[in-house]
Chain A
Amino acid sequence: AAGVIQSPRHLIKEKRETATLKCYPIPRHDTVYWYQQGPGQDPQFLISFYEKMQSDKGSIPDRFSAQQFSDYHSELNMSSLELGDSALYFCASTARNTDTQYFGPGTRLTVL
């Protein structure tokens, strides 16, 4: 079965640079969630989109923005990167009228 696709899988950036993470949900899934997981931490919700509109917002820094496109893929844009942004970033998707979230493999972001 098709799963959530994330790219890139690994990303290394310098402080103050920008990064763009991409997420392709499972086909026919219309809701996308972004989570950040620091070392030894549980996943923290950042933001979600339903039908291309922001549906909920969590602890996402103002330096980050995201959107969902017409094909339902989503991008997380991160600017002015800080050392503390180094983490695993997961995208999850759900089908319409369900709340079971399926996670992608994640993007490991390292900020030097």
Chain B
Amino acid sequence: QKEVEQNSGPLSVPEGAIASLNCTYSDRGSQSFFWYRQYSGKSPELIMSIYSNGDKEDGRFTAQLNKASQYVSLLIRDSQPSDSATYLCAVTDSGYSTLTFGKGTMLLVSP
């Protein structure tokens, strides 16, 4: 059974700092990796997707993937209080696969 592990947090950072969120996965066959942001009671919102080893940047967000270590991370630069949410790491194997989610890391950005 595929497993996705995340620290539950909360991860507390001051406004303007870099937040680093980490995720490990058990299935070496995993092909696609996603970060979703979820505010309490709301639906998951796609932040980043990454498919190959290395870094992928989009605005203040950088996703990093290391398939050899089965590790994916999300860096949030210049963190804002509005970034305070639960960040879900999710993986699929290929094609029309379902998402396997981690339990999420709660991020708290203090003004």
Contacts from A to B (Cβ < 8 Å): 31, 33, 35, 41-43, 45, 48, 50, 55-56, 58, 88, 90, 92, 94, 99-106, 108
* A92→B34 CA distance, assembly (Å): 14
Q: What residues of chain B have their CB less than 8 Å away from a CB belonging to chain A?
A: 32, 34, 36, 41-46, 49, 88, 92, 94-104
B interface secondary structure, majority:
loop
CB B40 to nearest CB in A, in angstroms, measures: 10
Docked CA distance A102–B101 (Å) = 14
Structural contact, A43 and B101, CB atoms closer than 8 A: yes
How far does the Cβ of B12 sit from chain A's closest Cβ, in whole Å? 19
Bound Cα distance A14, B13 (Å): 43
* Cβ-defined partner of B92 (8 Å) among A55, A58, A99, A108: A99
Dominant SS at the A interface?
A: strand
Whether A31 and B34, one on each chain, are in contact in the complex, defined by CB atoms closer than 8 angstroms, is no
| B97 touching A41, Cβ below 8 Å | no
Bound Cα distance A31, B96 (Å): 8
Contacts of B98 on A, CB cut-off 8 Å? Answer: 33, 45, 48, 56, 58
B34 and A100 contact, CB distance less than 8 A: yes
Name, among B36, B43, B92, the residue most crowded by chain A CB atoms within 10 Å (CB to CB). Answer: B43
Q: A41-B103, A56-B98, A103-B43 are known; give 4 further A-B pairs, CB within 8 A.
A: A55-B96, A56-B96, A99-B32, A106-B43
The reply to whether A90 and B101 contact each other, CB–CB distance below 8 Å, is no
Cα distance A99–B101 in the bound complex, in angstroms: 14
C-alpha spacing A92/B44, complex, angstroms:
10
A100-B46 contact, Cβ under 8 Å, with A42-B88, A42-B101: yes
Leading 5 A-B pairs by shortest Cβ distance: A42-B101, A103-B43, A45-B98, A42-B103, A106-B43
24 contacts between A and B (CB under 8 A): A31-B96, A35-B99, A42-B101, A43-B88, A43-B99, A43-B101, A45-B98, A55-B96, A56-B96, A56-B97, A56-B98, A58-B98, A88-B41, A90-B43, A92-B99, A94-B96, A99-B92, A99-B97, A100-B34, A100-B46, A101-B46, A103-B44, A103-B45, A105-B42
